[in-house]
Structure 1
Amino acid sequence: MTSPVRIYGDTRSGNCLKVKWTADHLAIPYEWHDVDVLKGETRTEDFLAINPAGQVPCLERPDGRILAQSNAIIFHLARDSKLVPQDDFDQAKMLEWMFWEQYSHEPFIAVRRFRRAFLNLADDEINPDLMAKGRRALGVMEMRLLSRDFIVGDGLTLADIALVAYTRVADEGGFDLDEFLGVRAWIARVENELEIDPDEGRVNPLA
């Protein structure tokens, strides 16, 4: 891509930060267009003309075509890079974890974080299933990371980027990451690879 792509997103959203981090890591030029979800900016007539689903992130290519859904976008951006394994099985395994992230991880960890950190709900006002299922997801990751540094293969892939986005701020949803030491070490490893400031995207900066 020679001309900059446009990325529409909210920097408090892990799904949006996935796209930013992927583009930054691969030195892909882009124009960032901030869209404040909490102010209802995804529901304006202008934004709905870009993405009728009213969701961020979305990417606008130089040819005007629009792509939505964070994991589809990062796969599009990284398709010819080292972030996508060349081995067919490893590539499928990467996609497996990216699908799992959106179905069995983000709906619990990210949603509980949103309700606790953005809506300021007390723990007893939040569906307890979110904590139970979020802890289960972190446990699955912990088991995966017991004997490896990254989720798939020997190096950083899109699976790591997809999963680190909300895992790294899970504490803002009330999850105790000290119970998942393998996950904590992996977060630090991925943040280092992507050169992420540990406070980026957090509601409450680390002490």
Structure 2
Amino acid sequence: MIVLYGMTDSGNCYKPRLLLAKLGIPFTHVEVSSHTGDTRKPEFVAKNPNAMVPLLELDDGRRIAESNAILLYLAEQTRFLPTDRYQRGLAYQWLFFEQYSHEPYIAVRKALLTFPERAKDATPERLAQTLERGNKALGVMNRRLAEAPFFAGDALSVADIALYAYTHDAEKGGFQIDAYPAVATWLKRVEADPGHVRIDWLPG
């Protein structure tokens, strides 16, 4: 059985759990938390020298790190990765957007406000910057979702799973989702897709 190393409260770790649940693929979850220093312990660094989660370990011992890379691996030959070349390119586009223009602000601002160990970094300047750039990302998403039901077109894809992970609880970081009606509607659309599970879901 494959093993997913991750933190239950991490959006990046939620992404592969959500896709695995939708695909009905059995897996073992191993909690490895950066809050407690688990990701920096030698036994985990031996598995992932970058000392980060999530990390997917296959049946044969091979491993894949980085949340969106794991999504692409799992989505191969499923409905979550478009077969149309252009739509697949759009899915890749939004995966890069999520990691470069979305997660560093929306996820980081939530972490600054909710994780005690990050409080020292929650300077007024950092909070203002993450709020401004996070709202810019939500605005870009809102414009796209006013044109199409999902980021790669008419069907839910890995791009939606990646962007959902930190957007669905962005209000914990002080973002007003109601100000972006297309995003708010899209969140409900993603949640209505078969096999959806919440961020605190773990395999039984």
TM over 0.5: yes
Match of 2:182 in 1: 182
Structure-2 residue corresponding to 1:205: none
1:196 equivalenced with 2:193 (yes/no): no
Quote the residue 1:96 is aligned against: 93
C-alpha distance 125-96 of structure 1, shift in aligned 2 (>3 A): closer
Deviations 1:111-168 (A, max 9, x none): 1110011137467374411110000000000001113211112111000001000011
Runs of 4+ with >6 A deviation: none
When normalised by structure 2's length, the TM-score is: 0.92
CA distance in 2, matches of 1:142, 1:84: 22
Listed as ranges, the matches of 1:28-107 within 5 Å are: 28-107=25-104
Gaps of 5+ in 1: 202-207
Q: 2-side partners of 1:131 and 1:109: how far apart?
A: 7
Conserved? CA contact 2:21–2:196, under 8 Å: no
Q: Which amino acid aligns with 1:134?
A: G
Q: Secondary structure at the match of 1:8?
A: strand
Mind listing any 5+ residue stretches in structure 2 that lack a counterpart?
none
| Structure number with higher relative contact order (C-alpha < 8 Å, ≥ 6 residues apart) | 2
State the Cα RMSD in Å: 1.7
C-alpha separation in 2, matches of 1:191 and 1:46: 36
Sequence identity (%): 41
For the Cα contact (< 8 Å) 1:116–1:123, is it kept in 2? no
Aligned counterparts, 1:151-166, within 5 A: 151-166=151-166
Distance 1:19 1:26 in 2: 10
User: Contact conserved, 2:6 with 2:13, CA < 8 A, in 1?
Assistant: yes
1:5 maps to 2:2: yes
Between the aligned partners of 1:174 and 1:45, the Cα distance in structure 2 is 36
Secondary structure, in 3 states, of the residue corresponding to 2:136?
helix
Q: Which region of structure 1 is more displaced relative to structure 2, 121-130 or 70-79?
A: 121-130
Q: Report how many aligned residue pairs link the two structures.
A: 197
